[in-house]
Structure formats: structure tokens, C-alpha cells
Amino acid sequence: MAPVARCLTRTFKTPQFTQCATKNHQHRAAFHLTSTAKDMVAPPDPVSHMRPIIYDDPPVPQPDGAYVRHPYSLSEFESAAGGGGSVVVGDNELQFKLLRQRLDALHQNFWLDSNTRFYSAKQSVLNNLPETATVRDKEQALSVFYKKWVMQEKELTDAYTNEWRRRNTQLIALSARVEFAKLKGCVSSFLKSS
């Protein structure tokens, strides 16, 4: 029996080296293990043939006394720091997760719709052949069908590809912003402690 989902990438618990500056400017080292997220890949969908990813995202850290932001309007509320609607790291992470889910849904829905229509049209071509049709006749009919299908679907597939690329570019840019904000926070907290 095949597993329901398998690990997308190998995960290791890696020791991270942390330095803490004391008043005497002595550095103390502390090792700790960090847990890593394990994204899982589920079995392929029987129609779309897409393998959905089950994300194991840690919860977005909320500052003390923070309220949960509305997931559809991330900059509507004031940030916990009182920045008047500024976007904080948690908002960027939430926005990243929502955009990633929307991209996965776009991908799944497009191929589900496309393959459903494809299988239906293919079956229609095969059903329209006479019962006395040979294997060669079926192959020729399907060859003509495949060519027409690709030409017919070119505009729709190109539109999907352009939208997928646009959203993927947004996702990469947002991911870079999230990681940069995390790095900036680490550097600033290190500088404050030294």
C-alpha cells in the first residue's frame, strides 16, 4: 500500500550557533535544535494528475497583546507597533501563505477543468467511430483530435501560463521580503544586545 503522503524534502534538525554578548564582551555559545517544517506531497488527483502539497507551516508569531488581522485585508488595521497600517513580518508571512494557496488552487483548477474537457472530447471522438473501425482508424482519429485539441486550447493554456508566471513571480518577491524582514529582525536584535 502506498503512503498517503510523503516528505517533499529531507529535513534535518540542525544545530544553530547563537552568540550572546555580555557586559564584559565575552561571548557565550548556546546550541539548540530547531525543528524544520515538513511539507508533504499527497497522491495525485485522478483527473488533474496534480500532486497537492500539504504545507506544515508553523503558526505566525503574534506579539503580546496583538489582535488577529483580517486575512483578506492585511493592511487595513494598525500594526501592534502603532505604525498606522504598516505591514509587519507576520502580515507578510500570512500574505505569502494565502498567495501560495491561491496559486496552488489556480494550478489544480485549471488542470482539473482542462483534463475533464479533454477526456470528454476524446471519448466523444472514440464513440463517433463506427464499431468496425480498426486500431489504425482509431489512431488516426485520435491523432487528428490531439492536433485540433492543442490548437484549440493554445490561447487558454497561454493565458494560464502567463497568469501562473505572474503569480509565481509575486510569490517569489513576497518570499524574499519575508526572509529579508526576518534577517533584518535578527541583525537588529543582535545589535541591540551587543
- Within a domain: 62: yes
> For the chain, what is the largest distance between any 2 Cα atoms, rounded to a whole number of angstroms?
93
Query: What pLDDT is attached to residue 70?
Result: 55
Task: Go through 108-147 and write b for each residue having 16 or more CB atoms within 10 A of its CB, e for each that does not.
Answer: bebbbebbeebeeeeeebeeeeeeeeeeeeeeebeeebee
Query: What pLDDT is attached to residue 194?
Result: 76
- Within a domain: 28: no
Query: What pLDDT is attached to residue 54?
Result: 87
Query: What pLDDT is attached to residue 91?
Result: 84
- Within a domain: 128: yes
Query: What pLDDT is attached to residue 39?
Result: 84
Query: What pLDDT is attached to residue 86?
Result: 41
Spell out, as residue ranges, where the chain has pLDDT lower than 50: 1-3, 7-32, 77-87
User: Is the whole model's pTM more than 0.85, yes or no?
Assistant: no
Query: What pLDDT is attached to residue 30?
Result: 45
Rounded to whole angstroms, the Cα distance separating 177 from 60 reads 15
Rounded to whole angstroms, the Cα distance separating 161 from 67 reads 38
Rounded to whole angstroms, the Cα distance separating 22 from 30 reads 13
- Within a domain: 18: no
Query: What pLDDT is attached to residue 89?
Result: 63
Q: Among 190, 150, 44, 28, which residue's Cα sits nearest to residue 107?
A: 44
- Within a domain: 150: yes
Domain count of the fold of the chain: 1
Q: Among 124, 113, 123, 125, which residue's Cα sits nearest to residue 153?
A: 113
Query: What pLDDT is attached to residue 124?
Result: 96
Residues ≥6 apart with Cβ < 8 Å to 67: 77
- Within a domain: 3: no
Residues ≥6 apart with Cβ < 8 Å to 72: none
Q: Would you state the cell numbers that stand for residue 180, as one nine-digit string?
A: 529579508
Domain extent at residue 129: 38-193
Report H helices in 32-88.
Answer: none
Backbone angles phi, psi at 7, to 5 degrees: -70, 130
- Within a domain: 75: yes
Query: What pLDDT is attached to residue 56?
Result: 83
